């Protein structure tokens, strides 16, 4: 496995691989890898000849009051995990190289970035789309694999790929969960053991609403949202619910009744840590 830290070297290697007819797969990450990330690498391995995993904690997608400084990092451990998962290249650029002093260019997707995560974190998606566009330009992938957990992000990036004519196949892989249902996240390490028990409230709320749809034939999103809020608060009284949104799976437009193309997404702050999750009910 090769480790590359230089943008120019990564560009050169990507061009060489393309000239050899190799299909390149990209898995962008911010490091501190867990099984969810590794599942994306394995998925990319099945779809491509060479898998590039990027590790970069992207400062432009963090607001000033968010956890950039304390975001967990474990470069050596990440490299070992990527190697074991079958990754071929690890790209670890420096922030000073990705965002030099005179950097002034950003990529913005409008409309679908203004709601939910975008409303709560106004500068977040501009940072995400800009860094992913840069990674696409540097690594020149044929396939890029992202996780379902950050679903709005996936929709935004798919829109960017379509609008900017990137010749890239976007693959959205299923969310990987802990045994109790909590979606795997690098931020899960922030919780104490007792707090960690309460984080199951997101998954319980989603599955509780799904049960109401399947068994009780309740499709009204207002009723489902009230039920979900009650479940969350019963499990974690200190939980602060940012949003519970029912939207069309493809367009992210809000819906008033659940149907087969609906996805439910939520964001909840638990003991100072903001978690997101989502689920389709069919």
Beta pairing partners, 266? 244, 277
Q: What is the DSSP string of 31-74?
A: SS--HHHHHHHHHHHHH-SEEEEEE---GGGS-TTSSTTT----
Average pLDDT over residues 191-212: 98
Query: What is the rounded average pLDDT for all residues in the chain?
Result: 97
Specify whether the CB–CB gap between 93 and 230 falls below 8 A.
no
Six token digits for residue 232: 């969350």
Between CA 137 and CA 230 the distance in angstroms is: 45
Does the pLDDT at position 142 exceed 90?
yes
CATH number at 186-280: 3.30.1300.10
Residue 168 has pLDDT above 90, yes or no: yes
pLDDT in tens, 232-276: 999 999 999 999 999 999 999 999 999 999 999 999 999 999 999
Residue range 161-182: mean pLDDT, rounded: 98
The active-site residue, picked from 34, 37, 124, 271, is 37
CATH class label, 2-173: alpha beta
Q: Is the pLDDT of residue 155 over 90?
A: yes
Radius of gyration of the chain (CA): 19
Catalytic-residue membership of 124 = no
Task: Judge whether 188 and 199 are in contact, CB under 8 Å.
Answer: yes
Q: Where in the chain is the domain with CATH 3.40.50.620?
A: 2-173
Tens digits of per-residue pLDDT, 82-125? 999 999 999 999 999 999 999 999 999 999 999 999 998 999 99
Residue 216 phi/psi, 5° resolution?
Answer: -105, -5
Please answer whether residues 71 and 30 qualify as being in contact, where contact means their C-beta atoms are separated by less than 8 angstroms. yes
Using the predicted structure, report yes or no on whether residue 65 has a pLDDT greater than 90: no
User: Which residues fall within 8 angstroms of residue 205, CB to CB, at 6 or more apart?
Assistant: 227, 228, 229, 231, 232, 244, 266
> Could you give the residue range(s) of every CATH 3.30.1300.10 domain in the chain?
186-280
């Amino acid at each position: 496995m090769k480790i590359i830290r230089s943008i120019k070297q990564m560009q050169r290697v990507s061009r060489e691989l393309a000239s050899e007819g190799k299909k390149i797969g990209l898995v962008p990450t911010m490091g501190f890898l867990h099984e969810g990330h590794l599942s994306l690498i394995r998925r990319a391995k099945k779809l491509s000849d060479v898998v590039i995993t990027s590790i970069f904690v992207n400062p432009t997608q963090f607001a000033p009051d968010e956890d950039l400084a304390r975001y967990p990092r474990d470069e050596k451990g990440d490299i070992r995990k990527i190697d074991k998962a079958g990754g071929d290249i690890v790209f670890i650029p420096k922030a000073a190289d990705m965002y030099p002093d005179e950097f002034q260019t950003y990529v913005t997707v409008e409309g679908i970035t203004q709601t939910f995560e975008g409303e709560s974190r106004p500068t977040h998606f501009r940072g995400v789309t800009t860094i992913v566009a840069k990674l696409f330009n540097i690594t020149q992938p044929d396939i890029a694999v992202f996780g379902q957990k950050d679903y709005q992000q996936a929709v935004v990036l798919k829109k960017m790929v379509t609008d900017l004519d990137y010749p890239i196949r976007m693959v959205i892989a299923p969310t990987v969960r802990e045994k109790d249902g909590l979606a795997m996240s690098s931020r899960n390490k922030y919780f104490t053991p007792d707090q960690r028990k309460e984080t199951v409230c997101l998954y319980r709320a989603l599955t509780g609403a799904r049960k109401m749809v399947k068994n009780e034939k309740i499709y009204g999103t207002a009723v489902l949202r009230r039920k979900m809020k009650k479940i969350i608060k019963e499990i974690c009284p200190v939980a602060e619910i940012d949003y519970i949104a029912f939207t069309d799976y493809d367009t992210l437009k809000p819906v008033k009744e659940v149907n087969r193309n609906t996805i439910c997404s939520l964001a909840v702050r638990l003991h100072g840590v903001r978690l997101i999750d989502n689920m389709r009910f069919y």
